[in-house]
Amino acid sequence: MKSMLSLGMGALLAALLSTTTIAADLRILTAVAGGKDTAEQELFVKELEQHLGMTIEMVKPESDYDNVLFTALASGEDYDLVYGDSSMLPKFLEQGAVVDVTDLVAKSAVLSNEAEIPAGEWKLFDVYGKKYGVPNKFEGGTMPVVREDWVKEFGMTDPVTLDDWMAFFKKAKEVKGAYGLSMAGLYDIQGFMSAKGLKAGYVTVDGKRTIPYATDAAASMYDWFATLYKDGLLDPAFATNGSGEFRKLFMSDRVAAVTYWDAWVGLFNNIVHTENAASTFEAKGIPGVPGPDGKVMLRRGESSLWFIPASAKHVNNAIKFLEFWHSTPGYVMGTLGIKDVDYTVKADGTFELTEQGKKHGMDHGSPRVSSTTWTNPFGMLPGVLEAQTVILNSGATVEDKPAAWADAGPIVEKYAFAAMSGEITGADAVKKMQADLKAAKLID
């Protein structure tokens, strides 16, 4: 009986131990860093643990990331690092949800090294001289992206004016049976609204809040889009598209141009040529339309950041990860991915991408690092450097979309979509926008 009891208690103890979760030394919530699927994510974490010498739990939700993030922080869940962007800072600061890392960065020889994280990157999300996050990677911007191979085939030059764009779109429809332009709602038509010098989001003028897309100057632009829509040059699903929809159209010869990120210029080219090496496909990012002052107005992306939550239990480990992420081994993981899975290293020390690595486009959370000292062994994907140069040379700026934009944005979209679809005139659209925005006290 004693022997049986001893055996039973031993089995029970073993069962309890097997179901006990060992607390990780570092818990991370991320939307981008890691593997491309569940299996690769596990391998990514395993390699991270080997580099850092600690146990790591990296949670990467499959969808609805922002909601997962805000819920986790509001509930005080024990994450040591969370991924987000600079647009979230006002809400985080209001809730006291993240830590001021100014002193932690200053004490770190890696994070304070401007060769690894240039001063300009910190300035993009500076809050009265304080740092409340650490950059994840270099963020570029958005712009018109064209089928450059079609531009050449048509014997044309890259479009500059609105008339140039119209001519290119018409030729694409005539020769290829394709739409001229596709996008996801008003994301991101900044390169075209530039023609009237209109900045997306809020712009403060003489202390008053304005929304340029809701001003009288925007009316003629909505009418221009309506002409595209009427002539079958604008993807009729533009108002309901997600980015995935227009990306598919672009890579399958069904649209001549989209409005998207500079980094995706390279990804478009990589994806198409990986699937079909003989394809003539060539994506190219080009400047928007010059405004009345002759300058192009483009959008710089919000800084992607790592935040340390106020509830973090392992702050030192979080800093250790961030220092790793901004070092050569971290750059390799953030771009190429996992050794012997996404890439291999030959006897002579050179790198070679596996077939899986080629498909993943050298993006495992940080496709373009902020470092000025490290060079990707494979260089940049075709077209990325040129597109990035367009963004930097244009003086592109981040959009100002404070909390009020959650209410203002839908009002602008509602009437803009109606005008761009030809249901109402551009003049009527901005008149209705202004009335609703003022009534809701969303503009001054």
Q: pLDDT tens digits for 71-123?
A: 999 998 999 999 999 989 988 999 999 999 999 999 999 999 999 999 988 98
- 1 within a domain of the structure (yes/no): no
Assess whether 294 and 402 both reside in one domain.
Answer: yes
Closest CA to 307 of 129, 100, 59, 94: 100
Assess whether 313 and 405 both reside in one domain.
Answer: no
Out of 333, 352, 371, pick the residue that ends a domain.
Answer: 371
Q: Where are the beta strands (DSSP E) in 246-390?
A: 255-261, 283-285, 299-300, 304-307, 343-345, 351-353
Assess whether 412 and 330 both reside in one domain.
Answer: no
Question: Sorting pLDDT into bands at 50, 70 and 90, what band is 22?
Answer: low
Assess whether 191 and 292 both reside in one domain.
Answer: yes
In three-state secondary structure terms, 148 is helix
- 308 within a domain of the structure (yes/no): yes
Assess whether 233 and 311 both reside in one domain.
Answer: no
For the domain that residue 73 is a member of, what is the CATH number? 3.40.190.10
Model pLDDT for residues 160-182, shown as the tens digit of each residue: 999 999 999 999 999 999 999 99
Please state whether 303 falls in left (phi above 0), alpha (psi between -120 and 50) or beta: beta
Assess whether 117 and 48 both reside in one domain.
Answer: yes
Assess whether 43 and 86 both reside in one domain.
Answer: yes
- 386 within a domain of the structure (yes/no): no
- 3 within a domain of the structure (yes/no): no
- 388 within a domain of the structure (yes/no): no
Assess whether 23 and 115 both reside in one domain.
Answer: yes
Count of domains forming the chain? 2
Domain interval for residue 222: 141-300+398-439
- 121 within a domain of the structure (yes/no): yes
Closest CA to 391 of 194, 156, 111: 194
Assess whether 36 and 93 both reside in one domain.
Answer: yes
* Residue 392: per-residue pLDDT: 86
Assess whether 133 and 157 both reside in one domain.
Answer: no
* Residue 395: per-residue pLDDT: 86
As a whole number, mean pLDDT of residues 136-155 equals 96
For residue 56, give the H/E element and its range: strand 56-59
- 177 within a domain of the structure (yes/no): yes
Model pLDDT for residues 222-261, shown as the tens digit of each residue: 999 999 999 999 999 999 999 999 999 999 999 999 999 9
Assess whether 245 and 288 both reside in one domain.
Answer: yes
Q: Which residues of 272-296 are buried (b: 16+ CB within 10 A; e: fewer)?
A: bbeeeeeeebbbbbbbbbebeeeeb
Assess whether 296 and 201 both reside in one domain.
Answer: yes
- For the chain, the residue count is 444
Residue 253 DSSP one-character state: T
- 6 within a domain of the structure (yes/no): no
